[in-house]
A and B are shown apart, each in its own frame.
Chain A
Amino acid sequence: MAYTTSPSTSTAAAVAWAFAAATCVKLLLVPTYRSTDFDVHRYWLALTHALPARQWYTDASSQWTLDYPPFFAYFSRLLSLPAPLVDATLVSVPVPDAPPFAHLLYLRLTVAFSDLLLLGSVLLLARDARRNQRPFLALALVLWSPALLAVDHVHFQYNGFLMGLLLLSLHFLEQEWDLAGGVVFASLLCSKHLFLVAAPVYFMYLFRHYCCGRGVVKGLGRLVLMGSGVAVVFAAAFAPFVYYGQMQQLINRLFPFGRGLCHAYWAPNFWVFYIILDKILAFLLRRLGFNIAIPEASFTGGLVGDSSPFAVLPKVTPIATFLLVILAMAPCLIKAFSNPQPKHIIRLVSNACTCGFMFGWHVHEKASLHFTIPLALIAMDSLNDARHYFLLSIVSCYSLFPLLFENQEYMIKVMLLLTYATLMWEENKSNGMYDLLVIDLQFRIHADHVCEMMRRTCTCLTSFLD
């Protein structure tokens, strides 16, 4: 045969290969810049290991107080288990100011280790029929995502683990194992409450898809089942702290609404335009002679207080942002309610996360990961999806550049983004070539068929003439 088909190689081998390559890159990223998030997680590792659970949310020996829900604290505890074998000072409170290299290496390795969950979820999702033709691409786009590498393995966070949980629940929903999907999402909420923004979509979808359409009794029974599943998860997380009477303290820690509308680094969301519009209007109106007071409060400051940081436009409150988020999500909620289809669940949830990013209160730019990573898995559905993802992933990674502000990381972040963009470009081109190959094969087969028909006709004619 003139054309060679691609050599067959098992998905498992490609999976292990991609993960190993990513791990080597993560090893090389160990000595790079780390933000205060590194000290935060270092402290939480020591805190959850050295102190009993009663003191986790009340300890104030460090300024980096625990402000994630209890499942993340349990996760930190799990990661701290082998730590005393390496160095006892890793898990002693108070933590040393300047960590030795061994501590840095250990913590970076825990992040790489927790990425195994992400690997597992992506592997499960890649086995879906549509992605089965290009399973390696699905893996590569997520595992080698420069945004994830920059945020998790340089800046230092555990987003790989959390996205792994999210993708796992999305996988269960795609396979129509709704109860499992709901339970996993609940445990995700108990690990990082930021994902509450996707909760309305989950609720609508699960209510309609899992509970409705099976008659009242069965539907009610399923509702109770789902509710109790979620309740069990929440109980496992929060029960000890209810027992200790620390729920108020917990709520204060988890939802610090005293902060401003925007983070220190503005996330590229809707409020940026609002602020710019406000400033332009103030400038124009002052030129026209109106007396516009310069606001005292700043947008990126801490406590806003009573005064509004806006000169002309109305002040934005947390309630207003909440309503806007729900409004923006409305089409998605309606779709989830009216026509819940498992194959669309990734798009629905990504939509919800995007709305939360666009209109939310005090959004970090790192939150763009929450919708970029799931969208990588549907990037191969069609050429349009691939084009959209190409643009989206580049823009969202570029928006994360200010996170790595030191000169040493400049070339690293630029090269990571360039290499990823070239990978997508190369795959798009060769995908086009692959399609051409298939079309060419089809043509050849049809051409052979036509020739065979002609040959038979000739033979018939000649035998007729004989």
Chain B
Amino acid sequence: MAKPRKPRTSAPDPPVSAARLPWHPPAPPVPTAVLISLAALLVRVLVSVGPYSGQGAAPKFGDYEAQRHWMELTLHLTPSDWYRNTSDNDLAYWGLDYPPLSAYQSLLHGRIINASLPEAVALRSSRGYESVESKLLMRWTVLSSDLLVFFPAALWFVWAYMKLGIGGEERREGWMWLLSMVLMSPCLVLIDHGHFQYNCISLGLTLGATAGVLSRNELVAAALFTLAINHKQMSLYFAPAFFSHLLGKCLKRKYPIVEVTKLAFVVLGTFALVWWPFLHSHEAALQVISRLAPFERGIYEDYVANFWCSTSVIIKWKKLFTIKPLKLMSLSATILAFLPSFIQQVKSPSNLGFLYSLMNSSFSFYLFSYQVHEKSILLPLLPASLLALEEPRMYGWFVYFALFSMYPLICRDQLLLQYVAVLGLFFLIYYSPGGSYGKRSNISCRAKLVLSLPFLCSLLLHITYLQIDPPKRYPFLFDALIMFVCFSQFVILALYTNYKQWMLDTHSRSIGVKKDL
């Protein structure tokens, strides 16, 4: 029986109109990872050209001067004098208020700067020292810290995330987009390399600890997280998440007491190592701790988009209560806020649940804790970026409003140009053509309308803050409005992520997923 001859097919022509971007498959992993890291470093270098906080603003200056002053102190004084009020160390002029690892880091950077430009860190005479060379050297210390701590942690995290297949097999191709989201976080770039801070070190250590937890190196993770706490005490915002997840894991193992003891040993040992110079007397240790927790400064300062500041318009907290009851109230509110995610992780720890609990715990501290600064939004932003593949829409929304909450700070530092450029670059990568990320869920038209309202408000506020002078009676009207808009969005986001974490249990139970411990 004669069959029609099958025509010989040649290889399919590559799609003619398709434009293959560098991160479309097939993409070689090592060159692409190097490319993304280099591009992220390039953006940081470019932002560094801009002004730093307090540039030219004598006599107090800003965070840049504080960091330079700490280098001067740690370089020339003995460790016992670092946190004490002495003739050389006037605590009123930018006294050290971060834990000892920050001081060691300042010492290292101070040594490096002293080698090439001693006038910048000379004791007492270098107060308010500003020059082109010193700015460059200081910027390079931040860049090198970022490169040495944050970048390897990000790469380790993405590798662990993909290797373990968190979030399912279909997410594997998104590793490049995830890496870009983690490395190109706009707030982190603007604060660290614009305003001038060293958040990259503590956030990098926390990110490394997260990667360690995911890849089941819990002891390494515990050590790294302890180091993160010892660099900036705000890293404690993540402590409930780490504690609950590790406790939950230990309880599910054969000998929980042994596991817990091992972790406790590592944590205490790391603490002892870092606090060694201050452990010789009770008084020295207390001196440091009193600098780390300045409760006298009040429950909030300036305008930050958290609960106490936003509701202070209606309930004047500072006037109604003294410090002690306010401390108690904020503590209980914070605990209540992170309690659901804490319980969920102790009951049924999982890798994805851990990431959600990181976010929920840091968010609860941001919203309800004592003395929160607007820059602390960086802390919930880190786990949000780690969840970018799971919750792309949530992440984009959060980044936009986190940046918006820092808008007054950006304007004060005259970083508006860098703000616009970095925001533009972020959303270009977020919406990169050919990527299906960010377009996953279908939102109803009515929901879109409701969501666009705060967005339009924010656009309007961007312009009015710059162009229009606020009325004399309320000189901080626009700051307060920005704070309200951001607070409303943060509350919605916090509720959403708490809900998602709580629902993880029921979802996994219904499809019978085996949890790896």
Task: Verify that A and B bind, or say they do not.
Answer: yes
Residues of A within 8 A of B (CB): 4-11, 13-14, 17, 20-21, 23-25, 27-32, 105, 132-137, 140, 407-408, 411-412, 415-416, 418-419, 422-423, 425-427, 429-430, 433-434, 437-439, 441-442, 445, 449, 452
**A28-B49, A419-B42 given; 5 more Cβ-contact pairs under 8 Å:** A13-B19, A21-B428, A27-B424, A438-B11, A449-B8
CB-defined contacts of B434 to chain A, threshold 8 Å: 6-9, 14
- Cα(A14)–Cα(B14), bound, Å: 17
Across-interface contacts of B22 in A (CB, < 8 A): 140, 423, 426-427, 430
Given contacts A423-B22, A430-B27, contact A24 B17 (CB under 8 A): no
B47 at the interface (CB under 8 A from A): yes
Chain A to chain B contacts (Cβ below 8 Å), 20 pairs: A5-B12, A5-B15, A6-B15, A9-B18, A10-B433, A17-B428, A17-B432, A21-B425, A24-B425, A25-B42, A25-B425, A27-B424, A28-B417, A28-B422, A31-B49, A136-B20, A407-B132, A426-B22, A434-B14, A437-B26
> Which B residues fall within an 8 A CB radius of A?
6, 8-12, 14-22, 24-28, 31-32, 34-35, 38-39, 41-43, 45-50, 132-133, 136, 140, 143, 173, 417-418, 420-422, 424-425, 428, 432-436
Once the chains bind, are A426 and B31 in contact (CB under 8 Å)? Answer: yes
Q: Which of B12, B14, B140 counts the most A-chain CB atoms under 10 A from its CB?
A: B14
Q: Chain B residues near A445 (CB, 8 Å)?
A: 9, 11
In the assembled complex, the CB of A362 is this many whole angstroms from the nearest CB of chain B, namely 32
Q: A441 with B425: in contact, given A7-B24, A407-B133, A434-B26 (CB under 8 Å)?
A: no
A397 to chain B, nearest CB (A): 14
Which of A24, A30, A408 contacts B428, CB < 8 Å? A24
Query: In this complex, which of B11, B136, B417, B425 has the most chain A Cβ atoms within 10 angstroms of its Cβ?
Result: B11
> Is B19 in contact with A14, judged by CB distance below 8 angstroms?
yes
Task: Name B27's closest neighbour in chain A (CB-CB).
Answer: A430
Q: A28-B418, A430-B28, A442-B10 are in contact. Are A412 and B19 (CB under 8 A)?
A: no
Report the separation of the CA atoms of residues A438 and B301 in the bound assembly, to the nearest whole angstrom: 62
Among A24, A439, A449, contact of B424 (Cβ-Cβ < 8 Å): A24
Contacts of B11 in A (CB 8 A): 438-439, 441-442, 445
Q: In the assembled complex, how far is the CB of residue A455 from the closest CB belonging to chain B, in whole angstroms?
A: 12
- Which residues of chain B are near A425, meaning CB under 8 Å? 31
Contact A412 to B49, CB < 8 A, known contacts A136-B21, A419-B38, A433-B28: yes
Q: Which of B8, B9, B136, B433 contacts A17 (CB 8 A)?
A: B433
Residues of A within 8 A of B50 (CB): 31
With both beta carbons as reference points, the residue of chain B lying nearest to A432 in the complex is identified as B28
Selected contact of A20 from candidates B39, B42, B133, B428, CB within 8 Å? B428
CA distance A17 to B424 in the complex (A): 11
In the complex, the number of residue pairs spanning A and B with C-beta atoms less than 8 Å apart equals 149
User: Which chain A residue lies CB-closest to B43?
Assistant: A28
Q: In this complex, what residue of A is CB-closest to B421?
A: A27
Please state if A28 and B9 are interface contacts (CB–CB under 8 Å): no
Q: What are the 5 tightest A-B residue pairs by CB atom distance, in nearest-first order?
A: A14-B19, A426-B31, A9-B434, A28-B46, A27-B421
Query: How far apart are B319's CB and chain A's nearest CB, in angstroms?
Result: 43
Chain B: CB-nearest residue to A419: B38
Residue with the highest number of chain A CB atoms closer than 10 Å, among B22, B47, B433: B433
Kindly list chain A residues whose C-beta atoms are within 8 Å of the C-beta of B16: 132-133
Is the pair A426, B35 in contact by a Cβ cutoff of 8 Å? yes
Q: A415-B38, A415-B41, A426-B35 are in contact. Are A20 and B424 (CB under 8 A)?
A: yes
Q: Which of B8, B17, B26, B417 contacts A10 (CB 8 A)?
A: B17
Q: How far is the CA of A437 from the CA of B24 in the complex (A)?
A: 14
By the criterion CB–CB under 8 Å, are B27 and A11 in contact?
no
The smallest beta-carbon distance between A23 and chain B, in angstroms, is: 8
Cα(A441)–Cα(B13), bound, Å: 11
| A427 neighbours in B (Cβ, 8 Å) | 22
Closest to A4 in B: B25
Please tell me if the beta carbons of B28 and A426 are within 8 angstroms of each other in the complex.
yes
Q: Which residues of B contact A136 (CB under 8 A)?
A: 19-21
Cα distance, A464 to B418, chains bound together (Å): 80
CB distance from B467 to the nearest CB of A (A): 15
* Contact between B17 and A30, CB atoms less than 8 A apart: no
- Least Cβ–Cβ distance between B190 and chain A, in angstroms: 11
Tell me which residues across on chain B come within 8 A of A6, comparing CB atoms.
14-15, 18, 20, 24-25, 434
Given that A11-B17, A11-B19 are known contacts, is A422 also in contact with B34, CB under 8 Å in the complex? yes
With CB as the reference atom, state the residue of chain B lying closest to A132: B16
Q: Kindly state the separation between the CA atoms of A5 and B26 in the bound complex, as whole angstroms.
A: 8
Cβ contacts under 8 Å, A17 to chain B: 428, 432-433
Bound Cα distance from A419 to B15, whole angstroms: 28
A441 to B22 Cα, complex, angstroms: 21
- Rounded to whole angstroms, the CA-CA distance of A7 and B24 in the bound complex is 7
User: Which of A137, A140, A418, A426 has most chain B Cβ within 10 Å?
Assistant: A426
| Residue of B18, B35, B47 touching A8 (CB-CB under 8 A) | B18
Q: How far is the CB of A79 from chain B (nearest CB, A)?
A: 20
B143 partner residues in chain A, CB cutoff 8 A: 411
| Contact in complex: A31, B41 (CB < 8 Å) | no
Chain A positions within 8 Å of B425 at CB level: 21, 24-25
- Whether B49 pairs with A133 at a CB distance below 8 angstroms is no
Contact between A28 and B421 (Cβ–Cβ < 8 Å)? yes
Chain B's nearest CB lies how many Å from the CB of A9?
4
Partner of B19, one of A9, A31, A423: A9
Chain B residues lying within 8 Å of A31, measured Cβ to Cβ, are 49-50, 417
Interface centre among A7, A8, A105, A441, by most chain B C-beta atoms within 10 angstroms, is A7
**Chain A nearest Cβ from B1, distance in angstroms:** 10
Complex formed: what's the CA distance from A29 to B42 in Å? 11
Contact A14 B21 (CB under 8 A): yes
Q: How far apart are the CA atoms of A264 and B428 in the complex, in Å?
A: 41
Instruction: Say yes or no: A423 contacts B35, CB within 8 Å.
Output: yes
- Would you call A419 and B424 a contact (CB within 8 A)? no
Q: Are B42 and A416 in contact (CB under 8 A)?
A: yes
Structural contact, B420 and A426, CB atoms closer than 8 A = no
- Taking a contact as CB atoms closer than 8 A, the residue among B8, B12, B42, B132 that contacts A408 in the complex is B132
Residues of chain A contacted by B132 (CB below 8 angstroms): 407-408
- Given A136-B21, A426-B31, A433-B26 contact (CB < 8 Å): yes
A304 to chain B, nearest CB (A): 37
A8 touching B49, Cβ below 8 Å: no
- Once bound together, how far apart are the Cα atoms of A425 and B34, in whole Å? 10
* Chain B residue at smallest Cβ distance from A23: B424
Which residue on A lies nearest to B35, using beta carbons? A422
- Which residues on the A side are within 8 Å of B46 (C-beta)? 25, 28-29, 412
Residues of A within 8 A of B25 (CB): 4, 6
Find out whether the CB atom of A412 lies under 8 angstroms from the CB atom of B428.
Answer: no
Expressed in whole angstroms, the Cα–Cα distance for A408 and B51 within the complex equals 13
C-alpha gap A115/B320 in the complex (Å) = 60
B243, chain A: closest CB distance, angstroms? 40
Beyond A27-B421, A437-B26, is A8–B34 a contact (Cβ under 8 Å)? no
Give CA–CA (A439, B10) in the complex, Å. 10
Chain A residues with Cβ below 8 Å from B39 are 419
Contacts of B24 in A (CB 8 A): 6-7
> Is there an interface contact between B417 and A407, defined as CB atoms closer than 8 Å?
no
Bound CA span A29–B12, Å = 43
CA distance A411 to B141 in the complex (A): 13
- With both chains docked as a complex, state the minimum distance between the C-beta of A423 and any C-beta of chain B, in angstroms: 6
For A29, the chain B residues whose CB sits under 8 A away are: 46, 49
- Chain A, residue nearest B133 (CB): A407
Is the beta-carbon distance between B31 and A422 smaller than 8 angstroms?
Answer: yes
Contacting pair B49 A408 (CB below 8 A): yes
Complex: how many Å from CA A423 to CA B21? 11
> Within the assembled complex, what's the spacing in Å between the Cα atoms of A9 and B436?
11
With the chains together, A407 CA to B428 CA distance in Å?
30
**Complex CA–CA separation, A423 to B32 (angstroms):** 8
Q: In whole angstroms, how far apart are the Cα atoms of A135 and B136 in the complex?
A: 39
In the complex, residue of chain A having the shortest beta-carbon distance to the beta carbon of B15:
A8
B176 to A: closest C-beta gap in Å:
11
